[in-house]
Amino acid sequence: MAEPIGGTPGTPPLPVYERPRGLHPPLDFPGYRSTSLRAPSQPLVLLPHNLTEVTGPLLGAERVGPTDNDLTVGHDGEALGQRIIVSGRVLDSDGRAVPDALIEVWQANAAGRYRHAADQWPAPLDPNFTGLGRVLTDSEGHYRFTTIKPGAYPWGNHDNAWRPAHIHFSLFGRAFTQRLVTQMYFPDDPLFGHDPIFNSIPDASARQRLVSRFDLDTTRPTWALGFVFDLVLRGSGATPFEDPDAES
């Protein structure tokens, strides 16, 4: 006979992760044209949080090279652009640090061009900038990397469409449920009001959580401006009970 795998003597119950409701952008968002043929049309089916969902790849230091935390180095010369230091903490929604977690970042160069075969708009490539970084969070969830401020980027979504300057973030957290891919923006970008991707997030205050803040404390004199960007992944909370009738 099967025995429960959580909650038996000596075994903690399996964590049950918070389900974000109304937080993430809807998959079908007409303002972002590429969603029209890619968003599923059928309702999602509720997936209980079992072992496959509450575990996840614990990718560590073996994936991070010695200069991966500085996107301005590793080439013959230094990358062009405004040098910046991006730092922050990765927490879960219970306020616990997410330690030893891999963060992958990628971005356009200072002119707003990606080093990618699919990006052919007439802005210069920088031979000294690839736009790829990797860092691990420390034991308290802190991370930090150095890069240059990316430029704004034109795209074909609508007439005269431009993306606000952004850095792509990919995080694993500690569980499959915590996986997150998002974008970090910069304060006071005049393009916010015109960008359907930024505005696809339904709640305006949630949108603002993707905007980093300028920080004088992490700004290095005569070297680089500091921006702080904290990320919050789903927590496993204090509520092990879950309503099986919750709408999907």
Interaction residues for another protein, span 156-185 (CB under 8 A): 168, 170, 174-177, 179-183
Q: Total binding residues for another protein by CB under 8 A? A: 91
| Residue choice 80, 97, 136, 206 for contact with another protein (CB under 8 A) | 206
How many Å apart are CA 133 and CA 147, to the nearest integer? 9
5 binds another protein (CB under 8 A): yes
CB of 64 to another protein, least distance (A): 12
* Residue 180 or 225 with smaller CB distance to another protein: 180
Q: How far is the CB of 160 from another protein (least distance, A)?
A: 19
> DSSP class of residue 61?
G
Among 79, 86, 91, 101, binds another protein (CB under 8 A): 91
Closest approach, Cβ 198 to another protein, in A, equals: 8
Instruction: Note whether 120 binds another protein by CB under 8 A.
Output: no
List binders of another protein among 53-82 (CB under 8 A): 53-59
Task: Give the integer Cα–Cα distance in Å for 73 and 19.
Answer: 40
Which listed residue (9, 30, 48, 83) binds another protein by CB under 8 A?
48
Q: For residue 98, give Cα distances in angstroms to 51, 145, 188, 212.
A: 19, 17, 29, 19
| Local structure of 109: helix, strand or coil | coil
Which one, of 21, 18, 16, 19, lies nearest residue 51 by Cα? Answer: 16
Single out the segment in contact with another protein by CB under 8 A; choices: 135-143, 186-194, 213-221, 231-239: 231-239
Pick from 209, 159, 161: nearest CA to 184: 209
| Angstrom distance (rounded) from CA 227 to CA 54 | 32
**Rounded CA separation 82/226 (Å):** 11
Identity at 157, one-letter amino acid code: N
Phi, psi torsion values for 161, nearest 5 degrees = -85, 135
Task: Write phi, then psi, for 87 (nearest 5 degrees).
Answer: -145, 165
Among 52, 82, 121, 140, which residue interacts with another protein (rule: CB under 8 A)? Answer: 52
Burial class (CB in 10 A: 0-12, 13-18, 19+), 222: exposed
**Interface region with another protein, contact rule CB under 8 A, candidates 5-13, 79-87, 140-148, 216-224:** 5-13
Interatomic CA distance for residues 196 and 220, integer angstroms: 34
* Interaction of residue 93 with another protein, rule CB under 8 A: yes
Catalytic residue numbers read: 114, 153, 163, 166, 168
**Site for another protein contains 20 (CB under 8 A):** yes
Of the residues 123, 135, 210, 224, which one makes contact with another protein according to CB under 8 A: 210
Q: Which stretch in 76-84, 132-140, 144-152, 211-219 sits in contact with another protein by CB under 8 A? A: 132-140
Nearer to another protein, 36 or 223 (CB): 36
